[in-house]
Amino acid sequence: MAVTHATTSTAFRAERIDTESKWYDLFQKGVELGTWDVEKLFDEVGFEADREILASLEPAERTQIRYLLSGFLDGEFAVGEDASHHLQRIAGAPCFDDNEEMEMYMTMFTLTEHKHTQFIDVYMHEVLGEQDAFADLNPKRGGARVPIVQATGLGDVYDRQGQLTARAAHSTDPVDIAKALTVYHMIVEGLLARGGFYSINKLSGNAPLPLLNHGFKFISTDEGRHITHGVEALSELIEKERAGEPEFQGVSRAIVDVLYENVASIADFGYMFTDAVDDPLEIGFDDLLLRVGRLIDGQFNEALDLDVDHHRVVGLVADRHQECLETDVDDAVREYRKLYRRKRAADGGRDDD
């Protein structure tokens, strides 16, 4: 395969656990690197410097940061939930070798996703102030989505991730699993989250927020391991397909199809914090797209050795971007807020109108 993940040369051997498995290696890396303590980070760095810098920014600049973090808040919550409910079961599917070690790794994986939600949720509340995130609505799913996430359509990709991971967890069919892991690891983590990290790095030139940058350094390191896990798991399925195993036929096709079906979500996410808010912190939608284009080549063509049609991808994202430009997102945000408030009133919840 094109991808081989170097395993650490652990000196330890065991009886039930294969300490030479690549999943064991990722588990151990997760234990070493993924146990950063969110509350300790808050104590050590504190909120004050970030609050002061944010207070010195223009309102439009603050909005841009809030929108960017809103995409992460809903995204991290969704991946944490789908990891807990579905990925853990997928790791036990018969189509994978080394299930024990993969299941061990998934516990670290899920823990880090919940910590990402913890960091972003507390940060937004403590630093940006109460945003009315409608958390009282739909409490089983951590609250209704942030209105801007719904208004741009970004929420749809999180819904599809939920549907595809649920289906794969129940069927344990290799083609269903390939679809689920593609939307989860390759699109949401590999393209959306990485595009978001790129944007946070870029805006830190104009708004150097120490706590935010610290937290996201940890989050992006964690996500690097998650994407490695996704590439390894998909490579294993592709390898079995190419070896001619009947139940794996269709895996490569499914991966590429899921990319085409979901890649336009890049435009939804980018629109939220670039053009929609006039990009005061100068992140630049075109630069973001170039970066994402390189990521697609790296993940799909190089790492997975597939054949993605670059022009088709660019066309899909450009078309969706055009649709976003023609939509009144501010108006859609107001509509979602109204809808949520009506639902809150109907639920007999708090009345803040």
Q: Which residues bind Fe ion (CB under 5 A)?
A: 76, 113, 116, 189, 223, 226
Q: Which helix (H) or strand (E) holds 330?
A: helix 329-346
Nearer to Fe ion, 121 or 189 (CB): 189
Least separation, in Å, of the C-beta of 253 and Fe ion? 25
CB distance 186 to 230 below 8 Å: yes
Helix axes 99-123, 38-45, angle to 10 degrees: 40
Least separation, in Å, of the C-beta of 223 and Fe ion? 5
Long-range contacts: 134-137, Cβ < 8 Å, 24+? 134/340, 134/344, 136/344, 136/347, 136/349, 136/350, 137/340, 137/343, 137/344, 137/347, 137/349
Least separation, in Å, of the C-beta of 113 and Fe ion? 5
Nearer to Fe ion, 25 or 223 (CB): 223
Nearer to Fe ion, 25 or 189 (CB): 189
Residue 297's Cβ-side half-sphere holds a number of Cα atoms within 13 Å equal to 9
Residue 60's Cβ-side half-sphere holds a number of Cα atoms within 13 Å equal to 9
Least separation, in Å, of the C-beta of 336 and Fe ion? 24
Sign of CA dihedral 193, 179, 176, 161: positive
Nearer to Fe ion, 61 or 76 (CB): 76
Nearer to Fe ion, 218 or 285 (CB): 218
Nearer to Fe ion, 79 or 277 (CB): 79
Residue 13 Ramachandran class (φ > 0 left, ψ -120 to 50 alpha, else beta): beta
Return the structure tokens found at 298. Answer: 């790296």
Least separation, in Å, of the C-beta of 17 and Fe ion? 24
Expressed in angstroms, the distance from the first to the final Cα of the chain is 58
User: Which amino acid, one-letter code, is at 167?
Assistant: R
Nearer to Fe ion, 116 or 344 (CB): 116
Least separation, in Å, of the C-beta of 121 and Fe ion? 12
Least separation, in Å, of the C-beta of 82 and Fe ion? 10
